[in-house]
Amino acid sequence: MNERILIVDDELGLREGCKRVLAAQGFSVEAAENGAEGLRQVQTGGYDLVLLDARLPDSNGVDLLQPIHQLDPETVCVIITGYGTVDLAVKAIKQGAYDFINKPFTADDLLLVVNQGLERRRLSLEARRLQTIEAQAKRLAEEKALIEEIDRLKMAFLRQVTHELRAPVAAVLSYLRLILNDDVPPERYKEMIGRAEAVACHQLELIADLLELSKLKEFKIKDQVSLVNLAEILRQVAEQFGAQAQEKRLQFAVHIASVLPPVRVVAEQLKSVWTNLINNAIKYTPPGGQVTVSLRQEGDQLIGQVSDSGIGIPPEAQARLFSEFFRAGNAKSFTPHGTGLGLAIVKQIVEDAGGRIWVESAVGQGATFTFTLPVAVEVDKEQVDKEQVDKEQVDKELLDAR
């Protein structure tokens, strides 16, 4: 046997007698004459069973139950009692002691309670081992199911990508074959080439979106994360769409709150968020409508919002709106061109940055996309110093100009 037993009792004769009996049975036995010494040995040794005298010179043996079980909840504690301490032993059992044995006791009495206690410990440890195995088996089963689901989604994604890439190539080939086989008169060549070019441009858009989405899914570019002025990115993107909105005779308004804190993100990714949302708003809003973009702060969050008076989104489509390759039916009817990846990219970027995004819409009444991003908790000193230097340089240039 390898079980270790500690006897904590102030009677030398009892300690030595118990050691002889238990050692003869193959147990590893040690002893302590008071509570402080016993607790030190428990803390350094680790025992399977502790025989504790209810009355010790420096403490109540029952007081050692809690610190012993804090070290090892499965340590079996048996209280040694005298005739006048049976009530105390009963209380000890309520506080976690396994059993008690009355003085004077025989070798058989001692071996009986010790063997029963150790058997209880073995069963308890085995139960815990089985629980651990069951928990590990459950975790492995969940991980296996997750891997299978990921494989399923990956295959579905590959099938969808194959379909999306194959259809435009087939269309371009059909236009070229019409020309090569002289199936159309020469005066229609320019028309056929123009159609092929449009399909090829759409193909390039799809490939670009796929590359961006794959980067977001497979690489977390931590070294490119920095403090970013989201308002400045919005101004840059909005300026690019001004002419497009004017061409469609849309009322295009941008509202940015003053003195907004920075966010910690990848700058190019946030540019993609604004670009996709504003582009969709303009694309799906008929001429004469309006598109409004805003950025403000609420607590520790920046709130970005893009609203339009366009075709809106059917309720049944809103749940799938941020899925890859998904486009609502009315969106396809309004404009056939679109990769169905833009909003999936936006959602991935926003969530990777610690934010969230949602949509509110009704058919024929436009749509409002809202996203949140947490403001940067701390400002990099290097960034602050650089901004200060830039500001001082600008001030100097203004003074020189005067």
pLDDT digits (tens, 9 = 90+) for 137-184: 999 998 888 788 767 756 766 666 666 667 677 778 888 888 888 888
pLDDT of residue 45: 79
Neighbours of 254 (CB within 10 A): 19
Cα distance between residue 374 and residue 363, in whole Å: 31
Beta-strand runs (E) in 34-163: 49-53, 76-81, 99-102
Average pLDDT, the chain: 82
Query: Which amino acid, one-letter code, is at 375?
Result: V
Per-residue burial over 314-346, b = 16 or more CB atoms within 10 Å of its CB, e = otherwise:
eeebbeebbebbbbbebbeebeeebbbbbbbbb
Average pLDDT (355-367) is 92
Its CATH architecture, for the domain 222-397, is 2-Layer Sandwich (3.30)
**124 and 72 Cβ atoms separated by less than 8 Å:** no
Q: Is 29 left (phi over 0), alpha (psi -120 to 50) or beta?
A: beta
Biggest alpha carbon–alpha carbon distance for the chain: 119
Average pLDDT (106-130) is 93
Spacing of C-alpha 81 from chain mean position:
54
pLDDT of residue 150: 66
Type and span of the H or E element at 302: strand 301-308
Cα distance between residue 178 and residue 160, in whole Å: 28
4-105 with 222-397: one CATH topology?
no
Q: Which CATH class is domain 4-105?
A: alpha beta
pLDDT digits (tens, 9 = 90+) for 292-301: 999 999 999 9
pLDDT exceeds cutoff 90 at 371: yes
Task: Say which residue the tokens 């080939």 belong to.
Answer: 173
Residue 338 carries which DSSP code?
-
Lowest mean pLDDT among 72-86, 155-169, 320-334, 345-359: 155-169
Closest CA to 98 of 4, 33, 115: 115
**92 and 65 Cβ atoms separated by less than 8 Å:** yes
Its CATH architecture, for the domain 153-218, is Orthogonal Bundle (1.10)
Cα distance between residue 303 and residue 372, in whole Å: 5
Cα distance between residue 121 and residue 75, in whole Å: 7
- Which residues does 272 contact at the CB level (< 8 Å), separation at least 6? 212, 345, 346, 349
pLDDT exceeds cutoff 50 at 398: no
Neighbours of 27 (CB within 10 A): 20
Cα distance between residue 273 and residue 268, in whole Å: 9
Domain boundaries defined on the chain? 4-105, 153-218, 222-397
Could you report how far apart the first and last alpha carbons of the chain are, in Å?
95
Average pLDDT (191-198) is 84
pLDDT exceeds cutoff 60 at 258: yes
pLDDT of residue 397: 40
pLDDT of residue 326: 74
Q: What is the pTM of this model?
A: 0.48
